[in-house]
């Protein structure tokens, strides 16, 4: 069959996966968004359904003081003796920790801290021992992939942290994962940084503690030399073995906005690349070490069909799965109903790294029509295309002393500008429409069923290349205001991808 990449679209970076019986499970990083660490499941590696989040309680993750792209960095998901473990870093606190659950559809434990620095923690279980890996500097001042043994019940270190591999020479050695395959230990990593130079590298050895010998042809996977190719930045991945014994890499990458337009604003997404082991025990990845937009493979049955949900509405999404908040939400400011939401705006705007009244869903594809109706009593409420507090576009309804107006606001770094306003008198209701293409957002208002073009802005100013950071654009519904009551009601939300 032929499958398309990405297999999970939109801002879902740093995938880590494991297989339990006939099901694959996968987690991603979530940074300043709450709940943290989305969990997906799949039976066939190409159709993924979100089933929950690992970090659903405030006592599991401190996000209040977290800047954009701070907070929850890359997680690892592992299963041992009937228990799932998810380990990650709160990068803002520089703290590695893990949580566990015996029911992946339920709640996860309180965090257990590990006193080893660096990011991208990994767990490897063998013979009653637990090895904990991360990147960084070891107890002797040596950089690299750093490892210690821990007691899994308490997170206590049972051995000093020791650097076990220094990588293949690329910058930003990170994302370690350790596996035992056919009696050998494989240490997978990412190098090059999570931009255009990103790559996957690995080494192998005879013991979980090394020494490790680098694969002679590293990087095993990178798209860094594919100029003019839509998929870039591939790296940071995790190996899984399928039901038939074949190996795959689930990893991140991004889609740039055009063949030679080196911007991406949808965030880093999840890609699937076949892995092939040679007789010598070294493996290769993808098509000559690159990831393609689609792979023809006989490893997945022709009867498997890659499904894609193209329409997202209030009615067909789940508030607890598809939608998320900036840092810890003030829950009483949200009334989430089957077909509408009521928001209580506060004085906190989208322009500061705090907790505005905001609920967002990831933009999963370039071409989309996003629409909703909003009613307002005071303050402001509307749709935001939100990358971070300094990079967002808003189409909103706003109260002014004599009545109401529609505004189009562009917020690009130091330039914060209301581009257009339209006075709508005493009418406190508006239909807002945003049409998105790879390169532009066009803003419309709908009056009596007719769409009136209000303005436009380029997507590239919301891209990671301009905004920096590790996240992607969310379609947010937001409100600001000073009242004590719910000042905005949203209905008829739809995001239709073509
Ligand atoms: C993550 C690191 C990376 O921790 O980006 O792509 C960092 N790789 O491994 C943030 O996602």
What own/partner pairs with CB < 8 Å and gap ≥ 24 does 418-422 have? Answer: 419/455, 419/457, 420/454, 420/455, 422/454
> In terms of Cα–Cα distance, which of 261, 451, 482, 441 is closest to 357?
482
pLDDT of residue 449: 85
- Please indicate whether residue 176, judged by its CB atom, sits closer than 6 Å to ligand 1: no
Residue 351, in any domain of the structure: yes
Helix, strand, coil distribution of the chain in percent, nearest 5: 5, 50, 45
Residue 302, in any domain of the structure: no
- Please indicate whether residue 13, judged by its CB atom, sits closer than 6 Å to ligand 1: yes
Note down the domain range covering 118.
Answer: 2-296
Residues belonging to the active site: 14, 174
Residue 408, in any domain of the structure: yes
Q: How many domains does the chain have?
A: 2
Peptide bond connecting 35 to the previous residue in cis, omega within 30 degrees of 0:
yes
pLDDT of residue 343: 98
- Please indicate whether residue 72, judged by its CB atom, sits closer than 6 Å to ligand 1: no
pLDDT of residue 1: 96
Choosing from 145, 175, 221, 249 the residue with most ligand 1 atoms within 8 A of its CB, the one to mutate for a pocket test is 175
**Same-domain check for residues 218 and 69:** yes
Distance between Cα 431 and ligand 1 center (Å): 38
Residue 304, in any domain of the structure: no
**Same-domain check for residues 353 and 397:** yes
pLDDT of residue 483: 78
**Same-domain check for residues 375 and 264:** no
Distance between Cα 73 and ligand 1 center (Å): 7
- Please indicate whether residue 470, judged by its CB atom, sits closer than 6 Å to ligand 1: yes
Distance between Cα 155 and ligand 1 center (Å): 23
pLDDT of residue 484: 81
pTM beyond 0.75: the answer is yes
Residues 37, 239: Cα–Cα separation, whole Å: 19
Distance between Cα 1 and ligand 1 center (Å): 31
- Please indicate whether residue 14, judged by its CB atom, sits closer than 6 Å to ligand 1: yes
Residue 301, in any domain of the structure: no
**Same-domain check for residues 209 and 67:** yes
| CATH number of residue 398's parent domain | 2.60.120.200
**Same-domain check for residues 281 and 422:** no
Q: Tens place of pLDDT for every residue, the chain, 498 residues?
A: 999 999 999 999 999 999 999 999 999 999 999 999 999 999 999 999 999 999 999 999 999 989 999 999 999 999 999 999 999 999 989 999 999 999 999 999 999 999 999 999 999 999 999 999 999 999 999 999 999 999 999 999 999 999 999 999 999 999 999 999 999 999 999 999 999 999 999 999 999 999 999 999 999 999 999 999 999 999 999 999 999 999 999 999 999 999 999 999 999 999 999 999 999 999 999 999 999 999 999 999 999 999 999 999 999 999 999 999 999 999 999 999 999 999 999 999 999 999 999 999 999 999 999 999 999 999 999 999 999 999 999 999 999 999 999 999 999 999 999 999 999 999 999 999 999 999 999 999 998 889 999 999 999 999 999 999 999 999 999 999 987 899 999 999 999 999
HSE, CB side, 13 Å, CA atoms: give it for residue 103: 3
Residues 250, 291: Cα–Cα separation, whole Å: 11
pLDDT of residue 448: 84
pLDDT of residue 177: 98
**Same-domain check for residues 271 and 321:** no
pLDDT of residue 447: 83
**Same-domain check for residues 276 and 363:** no
| CATH number of residue 80's parent domain | 2.115.10.20
């Amino acid at each position: 069959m032929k499958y398309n990449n990405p297999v999970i679209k939109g801002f879902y970076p740093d995938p880590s996966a494991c297989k339990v019986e006939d099901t694959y499970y996968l987690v991603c990083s979530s940074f300043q968004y709450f709940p943290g660490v989305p969990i997906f499941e799949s039976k066939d590696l190409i159709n993924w359904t979100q089933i929950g989040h690992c970090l659903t309680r405030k006592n599991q993750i401190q996000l209040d003081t977290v800047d954009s792209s701070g907070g929850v960095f890359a997680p690892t998901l592992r299963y041992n003796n009937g228990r799932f473990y998810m380990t990650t870093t709160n990068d803002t606190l520089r703290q590695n920790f893990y949580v566990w659950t015996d029911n992946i559809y339920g709640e996860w434990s309180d965090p257990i801290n590990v006193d080893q620095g660096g990011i991208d923690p990994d767990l490897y279980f063998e013979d009653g021992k637990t090895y904990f890996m991360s990147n960084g500097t070891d107890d002797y001042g040596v950089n690299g992939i750093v490892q210690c043994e821990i007691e899994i019940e308490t997170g206590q270190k049972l051995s000093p942290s020791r650097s076990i591999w220094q990588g293949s020479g690329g910058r930003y050695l990170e994302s370690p994962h350790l596996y035992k395959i056919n009696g050998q230990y494989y240490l997978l990593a990412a190098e090059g940084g999570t931009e255009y130079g990103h790559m996957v590298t690995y080494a192998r050895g005879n013991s979980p503690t090394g020494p490790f010998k680098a694969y002679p042809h590293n990087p095993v996977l990178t798209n860094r030399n594919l100029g003019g190719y839509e998929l870039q930045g591939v790296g940071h991945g995790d190996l899984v073995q399928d039901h038939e014994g074949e190996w795959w890499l689930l990893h991140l990458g991004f889609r740039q906005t055009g063949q030679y337009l080196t911007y991406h604003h949808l965030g880093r997404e999840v890609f699937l690349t076949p892995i092939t082991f040679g007789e010598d025990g070294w493996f290769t990845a993808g098509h000559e070490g690159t990831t393609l937009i689609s792979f023809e493979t006989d490893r997945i049955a022709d009867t498997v069909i890659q499904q894609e949900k193209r329409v997202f509405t209030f009615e067909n999404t789940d508030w607890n799965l598809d939608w998320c908040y900036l840092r810890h939400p003030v829950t009483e400011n949200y009334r989430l109903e089957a077909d509408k939401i009521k928001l209580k705006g506060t004085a906190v705007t989208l322009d500061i790294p705090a907790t505005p009244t905001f609920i967002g869903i990831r933009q999963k594809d370039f071409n989309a029509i996003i629409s909703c109706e909003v009613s307002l009593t005071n303050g402001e409420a509307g749709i935001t295309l939100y990358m971070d507090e300094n990079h967002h576009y808003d189409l909103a309804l706003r109260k002014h002393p004599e009545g109401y107006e529609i505004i189009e606001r562009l917020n690009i770094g130091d330039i914060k500008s209301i581009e257009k306003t339209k006075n709508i008198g005493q009418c406190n209701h508006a239909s807002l429409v945003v049409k998105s293409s790879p390169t532009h957002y066009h803003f419309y208002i709908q009056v009596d069923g007719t769409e009136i073009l209000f303005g436009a802005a380029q997507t590239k100013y919301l891209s990671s290349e301009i905004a920096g950071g590790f996240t992607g654009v969310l379609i947010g519904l937001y409100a600001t205001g000073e009242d004590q009551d719910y000042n905005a009601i949203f209905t008829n939300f739809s995001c239709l991808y073509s």
